[in-house]
Amino acid sequence: MNNKIKKLFATIIFSLLPFSVWSEKIETQMSADTITVQPDGILYAEGNVIVSYGNNKIKARALKFNQKSNQIQFTELQDFYDGKAIKFSAEEAVISSDLSQGIIRTAELLIDDVIKIQTDEVKLKSGEISSASGISRVTSCEECEEKEPNWYLSASSAKRDLEDLNIVYKNVTVRVKGLPVAYIPYLRMPDPSVSRARGFLVPEAVLTSNLASGLKLPYFVPMGISSDMLITPYFSSKTKTLEYRYRKKFRKGELTINGAFSDDDLVNNDLRYFSQLVGNYQMGYGVDLNFNVGKVSDSSYLGDYVYSEESEFNSEISLRKTIVEKQQFFDGDLSYLRETEQDNSLDEYYSLSGLYIKDISPVNVPGKLSLSANLNSSVNVNDDNSFSRPPSSAQVGIDYNQQTSIGSLKFSNDVYGQYNSFVNSADAGTTNEEFSFQYGASTLISAPFHARGKGKLIFLNPKLLLSFNDQENDILGDYFIGTEELNWGNVFSGKKIRSLTESETGLSVSLGIERQVFWENGRHLELSFAASKIDNLTYTPSPTLGLEARDLNYLGKFSYHTKNANSFGANALFSSKGRLIEGDFRGNYTHKNINLGLNYQTIDQAIDTRLSEDLRTMNFTSEYSLSDDFQVNAGGRYDLNNSKMAKTSFGLSFDMGSWEYNFTRDYLKQDPDKFSMSAIFDDECTRLTFSFENRYQDIGSSEPVKSLMFRVQLKPFANVVFAQGGDQITF
């Protein structure tokens, strides 16, 4: 049972605990309309009886104190307040004079002005609440005359075991709208005076399509103040499973071990299992140890029991150290990875990487000087136990940057040099070490300008970049060559090629202008254009990637926002011959109750080798609100090359009082992909969710998933969930 349920039942027993402090030597004050003392020593108080004891205050119709029997009898307790959070009323209470023993009958309690409790009898023993019986109602819902609350709990009795710090409950029933939804005949719970104690948690009802209906009974075992164990037997007609979880908290880290053992009908005569260890630890000298290792008996086990969407666990261990300071930065990582994918010949992988950057402020020299070092190295262990060394690299570099201005002109000057070492055995057929040296210089000139016109503010910023780059020695193989393209992130960079082994050579130039206009009525216009020419490259790029040597390539960007939040925009990359390499055109329109979105995207096949032809798609979204409580939406992606829908979705949602209804239908390539519908009831004390989902995909050895779920959330206490389908949703 979760912590909120524990506190709920604990409240029933201990909400009257302030009585126990009456035995202390605190002055008691009493007032009433009539107070009389009989010759036999019996004191009577009647009419507007008020008893104050410290922060406690009791109002009652009458009070009787018998000195011989040492008992105080209250009649019609109208109000009790402990000065903190508890209020209650009762028909009568008979308590010893030292307030250590007694019985309180027909009590109604209010906790934190939210939780309402009704119980027939509460017993005091040794100054403590020892038991309660006839617990007829516990709820946080508003209660109306002759109407039951949306939900409430009941129990025949609750008894406190002070020696073992447990409370035993009998015949616990959860009711929603008057209907019983859960019954627990016997429940032993931790005492609320301890934060963590041994005991059973809320049982979990599980209904799945491949394992039938079953029951999980979690048992919590504390192991000191910083560790615990959770053991969960899982029984159904098709499986006998034992789940476990161990957690340990360290001063500088944490550890979690999860796992399960199963004997089921899905795989005959085999014990199925998984185990996973996850954790981290802060070692000395700022080194962080992270690990995530696991083992699975077979590839379908995790999917059959919905423990994971993966078929197997990869294992990874890493040591990492990061230093971030004003003048220096370091990030280093030593990793071990074990691959378990069935179609992967790689078995184990060891890697070492590190990056160090140091800023130096030379004396009497303007600008900033930076030194850098970078290392990436690894070793593969294949599934046949053979070893190979994948491409590895090491670099050391120096960079100098100076920023100055002359009038309205701003200059950013940069000079760099980088010495590289490579082992490129993956595609060059050699393990020989190769070296290269890259160097270059660049100057970026800009002239930002702004002017205020009638009802608008204009920004204009022309830019000119001149750069020279070169490289000594060519590197064999293409492993480090990536798919490069001209974009707004690198068009004004001194070196536009990110590849470690390749570079621009000779003189390069980039020219562009940025214009922005802001109107006082909220409109905003942005227009940018740039052209770039690279003198040469150390490799031959695809002719359509926007980095053609000796030819100009072009970038354009446009966006406009209206005062009504409508927007239109476009991005485009053109080759030197005017061919559109990549384009993105989008718009969003809102008017009254309708919202429309449209996006057209085109990508040249050469920019992505996974494409067999140019990609041209149209994405659209739409939403129409008939009212604040009724919305319809539709969307999809249309493949212009094949003249058919690639993905389509439809949805409907509406509210009726406290109920919310949702329906969605998705299609992938005109075939059903997903259907879902739900009904949700939500008020101040209850949230009910009914949902059905049909996903046309496989999990483990199960059929395509069809799940039916009913969830009850009893505010502010607990969740109760019944579900059928591949997803094991529990309560």
Q: What DSSP assignment string belongs to 472-500?
A: ES--SSSTT-------TTTTTSS-----S
Which domains, from first to last, does the chain contain? 3-183 (2.60.450.10), 391-397+416-578 (no CATH)
The pTM of this model reads 0.62
What are 269-307's pLDDT values in tens digits? 678 999 999 999 999 888 999 999 999 988 888 878 878
pLDDT score at 11: 40
Sequence-ordered strand ranges (E) for 540-698: 552-561, 567-574, 580-591, 594-603, 615-627, 630-639, 644-656, 659-668, 671-682, 686-695
pLDDT score at 641: 85
- Tell me the two tokens of residue 327: 């003048």
Cα 301 from Cα 415, distance rounded (Å): 57
pLDDT band at 7 (very low <50, low <70, confident <90, very high): very low
What are 147-184's pLDDT values in tens digits? 777 778 788 988 877 666 677 778 888 777 777 877 77
Question: What are 608-613's contacts with CB under 8 Å, separation 24+?
Answer: 608/483, 609/483, 613/641
Higher pLDDT: 300 or 397? It is 397
Cα angle, residue 364 at apex, residues 358 and 366 outer, rounded to 5°: 65
Listing DSSP states for 229-271 in one string gives EEEEEEEETTEEEEEEEEEEEETTEEEEEEEEEEEESSSTT--
The DSSP letter of residue 286 is G
The percentage of residues in the chain with a pLDDT greater than 70, rounded to a whole number, is 79
User: Which amino acid is residue 122, in one-letter code?
Assistant: V
In what helix (H) or strand (E) does residue 131 lie, and over which residues does it extend? strand 128-139
Q: What sign does the dihedral 476-481-486-487 (CA atoms) show?
A: negative
**283 by DSSP, 3-state: which?**
coil
Greatest mean pLDDT among 60-69, 203-212, 340-349, 563-572: 563-572
Q: What are the backbone angles phi and psi of residue 224, rounded to the nearest 5°? A: 85, -175
CA 394 to chain centre: 37
Cα 56 from Cα 23, distance rounded (Å): 13
User: Which amino acid is residue 601, in one-letter code?
Assistant: Q
pLDDT band at 624 (very low <50, low <70, confident <90, very high): very high
Lowest mean pLDDT among 10-14, 192-196, 624-628: 10-14
